[in-house]
Structure 1
Amino acid sequence: MKKTILLVCLFLSQSFFGFAQDKFVIQNKKHSDKIKFKLIHNLIVIPLEVNGVTLSFLLDTGVSKPIIFNFLNVSNTLKLKDPETIYLRGLGGDKSVEALKSGNNILKLGDAIKLEQDLYAVYNSNLSLAPRLGFPVHGIIGYDLFKDLIVQINYSNQTIILTEPAFFKKKPCKSCEYFDLKFHKRKPYIQANVSLNQKNIPLKLLIDSGGSDSLWLFENDSIGLSPEGNMFHDFLGHGLTGSVYGHRSKVKSFSLKSFEFKNVNVAFPDSEFTVFAQRIKDRNGSIAGNILKRFNMTFDYQKGQLRMKKNKYYNEKFSYNKSGIELAHDGMRTVKEVDVESGADKLSFQKKNQSKNVFSVKSTERYKIQLKPAYVIAEIRDNSPASEAGLMVDDLILSINGKDTKQYSLQEILEMFYEDNGRRIKLKIERGGNIMYFTFFLKAVL
């Protein structure tokens, strides 16, 4: 009898262990865990452990496969198993990008762990997000995490709570709105409305937490989806298969049920960059980070539900880059600084003539060489204030408004370009070994 019980228990434990390997489970008694994230340019950056190596990943509802970017020795560094070459497609054109698929990898986020995970390593250096964010980002993950767990994203305090569905306790919320999620190829879509060209247009939008803009809409004259009023052509971002360009404009209003926003930023990508995305039936575009961050959200993929509640960012003004400059982090530069700690601010006095009170002054200043971030102009918009001032792509920015850029993060510098119309911007730059100075004023186009 004891032997039979032992065999049954052994069978059940083996069955549970085998079942848990191909899904995320939370290894604590609460079956729930809270994880801090960084909010960088409206994007969620989480600490994800891959095969024992802690990396920074974007939490991106717009991706169906976890992808690792630009690792020269990814097979050795992460010990990827059973690699095979495949091709992936996405925004940036109707092209494919080569990737290395690997199975049976171990992922860990806080106390959530998955023992059998497919990963896709992409070697295209143009897909590296670090230069544009000024922060190392090694990859993106989305569906594989959301499908197994209830994911609560609190943009206000920059935390996510992961809970196993069987242990999730739903709390009533009178100020919340609830949405049904529709899925296509493992990506979530939501219904919304936009006021454009004197029409109220219903929309089917991809929920894209991996995009930093507000709205991307696909032009469709038959239903009235096209830019209205002032606009300008701009670099919009990097897709999986290349850079994306299009027009930036505003919409009078955008609503998600009772949540309504006025004068919302919108981008209309050029059609050649969205060929693959527009093949999805009835898709009108994407809702991205600059709107999503205004809510604290609970995603329940298993029930196809989303709960949204206003947070402290809800009434934040919709602004945009008025300078025309797209910055990138381009490695490090050397900076020579006075070493105060070693007595650099001291002077020594030596008497030169014993009979006369004649002294010489000798500086004891010491210097230290430090490595600081190098910020370069990666894109510059035609006819923009920066372009008209004479700034160029590859200019290295040394100071902004009289302060060395070493004092700022990339995000802090970019925020200056989003300030009010008429703000003066003074730049000291290096071009071809020459130091140059430029001044321009932010100009509101929209």
Structure 2
Amino acid sequence: MLAKYTCVTFLVFCKLVICLALLFSFFSGYAQDFMFSGNRTKQSIPFKCIKNLIVIPLFVNGKGPYDFVLDTGVGPLIITEPAIIDSLNFSTMRKIKLSGLGVENVDAYVSQNVSAQLGGAKIKYIPTAVLKEDLFNLSGHLGIKIFGLIGFDFFNSFVIDIRYSSNHLIFYDLKRKVKYRGSKVPILIERNKPYIVAEVEIDDTTKVRTRLLIDTGASHALSMEMLDGNAFPAPVHKIKASLGMSLSGQIKGYVGRIGKFNLGGYVFDDVVAGFPDFESISSKIDLTKRNGNLGGEILRKFDVQFNYQESFLYLKPNANRKKAFQHDMLGMVVYFEQNQFNRVLIGEIDEDSPAERAGFCPQDEIIGIDFKSINTYTLNDINELFKSWPNRTIIFEIYRDNRVFFKFVRLEKRI
């Protein structure tokens, strides 16, 4: 079952995530690829990297471009803003109920009459799931209007080169000779999703081989979920955290550090990882296919070339390779109000965090930071500020209950 966490948090699960396992049966046997027109065999386009997510300009039914998240963790195209399809008639579309972690009886509609285009590459009929409304506020958590996610059909059509070093996406016709860069690592494509094997050092004496979903649509570094049918062992030093917000409530768990993580021969120390509550997630999603999830915080340390057809990728370290993994030192989520994107609000607040001790409340509006208007900051700026350095004091100007006041908070290294 494909599981997606339905919230962006500063801790771990910065993405729209939704359970779409039912759609595989509807789209099985329905195969079509993106194709270049004319003699083109290669194209390069810039992308926005926001909270480690790749945002690309996609045309839908000849209109756009619209900002979509490029997400290896999804199968069909997912549209979260149906207004972009003027001719959409829900009464003629097949209606299904989505269920899974954080998704309880949400309406979605299945369409095979949607066309898409990225650069010069087009697909006439792309399997599509349409939500009648954006229930998950991915736009608010990224600070720009996001219209959906695109995944397998694009990755399966080309050799995909994600240059995190320059924020460029290069894609090649499968018949073109490609110059690969870096180290070759095998992957497995199963039910339209890519998996990779990596070695995790749980403690000084225990190393385990893990099977991880490669997820460009996840902002975190690692999510460790299951080992030998039980919860993946969390480190001794960890903190309680809200790892995401679902429609049915908060996804609880812990955040800690993995001692060593070996990906294709590249070893990382002290990797920040999330450990979601096993009882909560194992009852709603299938963990038998994986031990966890590998996200953008690690992937962006490389330029990555994917070849789904031949089941491998290449990893070439970039300038981010040696940057230490930092965890949020404040303990709260911030996001843009969904409709106008002109108000920054506080979401979940971690237990016993500097934010909780300072008396912040959910739905507080931040109107200034360090005596600068909040309009001068992007969400990336704010999140990097929260990870800057221990003992740094940040001054917040807060609007609550028709009054404005200031709060001084000192950042604290919590793991």
TM-score for the superposition, normalised by structure 2? 0.86
User: 1:304: which partner in 2?
Assistant: 311
Alignment-mate amino acid for residue 189 of structure 1: Y
Cα distance in 1, alignment partners of residues 339 and 33 from structure 2: 40
What is the aligned partner in structure 2 of residue 170 from structure 1? Answer: 178
Deviation (angstroms), 1:247: 0.8
Superposed CA deviations along residues 201-244 of structure 1, whole A, max 9, x for unmatched, are: 10000000000000000143778931113211222235698753
Please give the per-residue CA displacement for 1:135-158, whole angstroms capped at 9, x wherever unaligned.
111100110111111111110111
4+ residue stretches of structure 1 with deviation over 6 A? 221-224, 239-242
Q: Does 1:179 align with 2:185?
A: yes
Q: Give 1 or 2 for the bigger CA radius of gyration.
A: 1
Aligned mates of 2:148, 2:260 — CA distance in 1: 34
**Number of the residue aligned with 1:427:** 396
Which SS does the other structure have where 1:327 is aligned? strand
Residue 111 (1) aligns with residue 120 (2): yes
Residue 88 of structure 1 corresponds to 98
2:139, 2:338 within 8 Å by CA — same for their partners in 1? no
Change in Cα spacing, 1:254 to 1:149, as seen in structure 2 (3 Å) is same
Number of the residue aligned with 1:147: 156
Preserved contact between residue 92 and residue 273 of structure 1 (Cα < 8 Å): no
Q: Could you say what secondary structure the match of 2:178 adopts?
A: coil
Residue of structure 2 in register with 1:133 after alignment? 142
| Matching of residues 25-64 of structure 1 within 5 Å | 25-54=35-64, 55-64=66-75
Instruction: Report the identity percentage.
Output: 30
Name which of 225, 233, 251 aligns with 1:226: 233
1:171 Cα deviation after fit: 2.4
Contact 1:70 1:127 in 2 (8 A): no
Given residue 412 of structure 1, which amino acid in structure 2 is its aligned partner? D
Q: Residues 267 and 280 of structure 1: is their aligned pair in 2 closer, same or farther, counting only changes over 3 Å?
A: closer
From 192, 203, 208, give the equivalent of 2:210: 203
Give the Cα separation in 2 of the matches to 1:89 and 1:234.
Answer: 24
> 1:142, 1:425 → 2: CA distance?
38
Deviations 1:323-363, CA, capped at 9 Å, x for gaps: 11100101588xxxxxxxxxxxxxxxxxxxxxxxxxxxxxx
Structure 1 SS opposite 2:297: helix
The CA deviation at 1:380 is: 1.1
Alignment CA distance shift 1:430-1:62 (3 Å): same
User: How far apart, CA to CA, are the structure 2 residues paired with 1:90 and 1:293?
Assistant: 29
Cα 1:224–1:50 change in 2 (3 A) is: closer
CA distance in 1, matches of 2:235, 2:108: 39
Structure 2 partner of 1:355: none
Aligned to 2:6: none
Distance 1:183 1:242 in 2: 32
Partner of 2:110: 101
Closer, same or farther: CA 317–78 of 1 in aligned 2, 3 Å:
farther
Instruction: Work out the CA distance in 1 between the residues paired with 2:404 and 2:210.
Output: 50
Query: Among 395, 399, 417, which residue is 2:386 paired with?
Result: 417
For residues 11-410 of structure 1, the aligned pairs below 5 Å read 22-54=32-64, 55-71=66-82, 73=83, 76=86, 82-89=92-99, 91-92=101-102, 95-123=104-132, 125-167=134-176, 169-171=177-179, 173=181, 176-197=182-203, 198-220=205-227, 225-237=232-244, 244-275=251-282, 279-330=286-337, 373-410=342-379
The structure where strand makes up a greater share of residues is: 1
Assess, with a 3 A threshold, how the Cα gap between structure 1 residues 172 and 283 changes in structure 2: closer, same or farther: closer
**What CA distance in whole angstroms lies between the structure 1 residues aligned with 2:138 and 2:274?**
20
With the length of structure 1 as denominator, give the TM-score of the two structures. Answer: 0.80
Q: Per-residue CA shift, 1:251-292, capped at 9, x if unaligned?
A: 111011310000000001112453377524341001000000
8 A contact 2:180–2:305 mirrored in 1: no
- Tell me the distance in 1 between the aligned counterparts of 2:158 and 2:284: 27
Q: Is the 8 A contact 2:200 2:208 kept in 1?
A: yes
Preserved CA contact (<8 Å) 2:114 2:128: yes
Give RMSD over aligned pairs: 2.5
Q: Tell me by how many angstroms 1:133 deviates.
A: 0.9
Separation in structure 2 between the aligned mates of residue 92 and residue 226 of structure 1, nearest angstrom: 23
**Taking structure 1 as reference, are residues 161 and 242 closer, same or farther at Cα in structure 2, changes over 3 Å only?**
farther
Deviates more, 1:75-84 or 1:210-219: 75-84
1:438 aligns with 2:379: no
Report if the CA contact (8 A) 1:249-1:265 is conserved: yes
